[in-house]
Amino acid sequence: MSNNPPDDTRPLSKREEERLLKAGRSVFSTAFPNPNREGCPSQDLIQTLARDNAQLAQHQDFILHMSRCSPCYNDFARFRKVAQRAKRTKLLAAAAVIVIICVAAWLVVRARHGLPHEYPAAFDMSTQLMFRGLGGNSAESKGPMVLRRGIADLTLYLTPGSRTGPYEVGVLTESERVLITTPGSAAVKGTRPALTARLDVSRLNPGHYLLGIRPPGADWSLSPLVVK
Ligand SMILES: [Zn+2]
């Protein structure tokens, strides 16, 4: 190794180092041939310094040597490139690992809970037990509607003369607390108005509920609903 000149004991800043390397590409790489590698440090040390900026900062002697030794300059530049590529690869690998973990976690969650099953379900509302508004009158019923947990593509046949147009469809607790609402719309199908809506009951616990339908702003018309 050559000796440090007395006026150059200040560590190089990163920018200075980069400038040196850049300028070196045209000058240092060829201007200072040292075929016998006199005063050169070991390849191991050059490789370490190319990888480790903190260590490089403590080896001003090497930086100075490199500025006068084209073979060392070229070794350093080559190791540096490899080290930076490895760092980038490591970052990419880390990102890939994170993505893989997320996908695996998602698959586990999906396998455990299952994707909501989507199925068609049709009911004749004229035969359902109907409560008009809060605690209203009841009529004869053929038992409650039953929906399986999942996403029901509902078709609700309304009593003749029911209004068509937009509706709101909801699931309420038996104490009439609204749990789910979804938009629906009624149109005449054949001879009767039918209300269609996509109702997601995949997250409801199995049990007894009320199915509510209402035109916007009106009171709920409620019917017993069982979710299985
Ligand atoms: Zn050298």
CA 14 to ligand 1 centroid distance, Å: 21
Lowest mean pLDDT, pick from 4-18, 63-77, 105-119: 4-18
Q: What is the pLDDT of residues 22-78, one digit of tens each?
A: 666 777 788 888 999 999 999 999 999 998 888 888 888 888 888 788 899 899 989
CA of 6 to the centre of ligand 1 (A): 20
Give the distance (Å) from ligand 1 centre to CA of residue 46: 9
**Distance from C-alpha of 44 to C-alpha of 46, rounded to nearest angstrom:** 5
At 28, list the tokens: 């240092």
Residue 196, CB-side half-sphere exposure with 13 Å CA sphere: 7
CA of 66 to the centre of ligand 1 (A): 6
What is the C-alpha to C-alpha distance for residues 212 and 174, in angstroms, rounded to an integer? 11
pLDDT of 42:
95
Per-residue pLDDT of 150-195, as tens digits, reads 899 999 989 888 899 999 999 999 999 999 999 999 999 888 899 9
115-149 per-position pLDDT tens digit? 678 888 888 887 764 444 333 344 444 568 889 88
Phi first, then psi, for residue 209 (nearest 5°) are: -140, -175
Q: Where is 88: in which H helix or E strand?
A: helix 70-113
- Residue 73, Cβ density class (10 Å: 0-12 exposed, 13-18 middle, ≥19 buried): buried
C-alpha of residue 53 to centroid of ligand 1, in Å: 19
Residue 10: per-residue pLDDT: 63
How far away, in angstroms, is 30 Cα from ligand 1 center? Answer: 12
Q: Which residue has the tokens 């209203």?
A: 136
Task: Report CA(87)–ligand 1 centroid distance (Å).
Answer: 25
- Going along the chain from its start, the domains and CATH numbers come out as 14-110 (no CATH), 118-227 (2.60.40)
Residue 15 Cα to ligand 1 midpoint, Å, equals: 22
pLDDT higher than 60, residue 211: yes
104 pLDDT exceeds 80?
Answer: no
CA of 83 to the centre of ligand 1 (A): 20
Map residue 125 onto helix, strand or coil: helix
Q: How far is the CA of 21 from the centre of ligand 1 (A)?
A: 15
Burial of 34 (0-12, 13-18, 19+ CB in 10 A): middle
Q: Give the three-class secondary structure for 162.
A: coil
**Residue 73 CA, ligand 1 centroid: distance in Å:** 7
Q: Which of 67, 79, 78, 80 is nearest to 34 (CA)?
A: 67
- Cα(41) to ligand 1 centroid in Å equals 7
Q: How far apart are alpha carbons 37 and 65 in whole angstroms? A: 11
Q: What is the pLDDT of residue 139?
A: 42
Burial (0-12, 13-18, 19+ Cβ within 10 Å), 104: exposed
Question: How remote is the CA of residue 85 from the centroid of ligand 1, in Å?
Answer: 24
pTM of the prediction?
0.47
DSSP one-letter code for 190? T
- For residues 112 and 41, the model is more confident at 41
> How many whole angstroms from 49 Cα to the centroid of ligand 1?
13
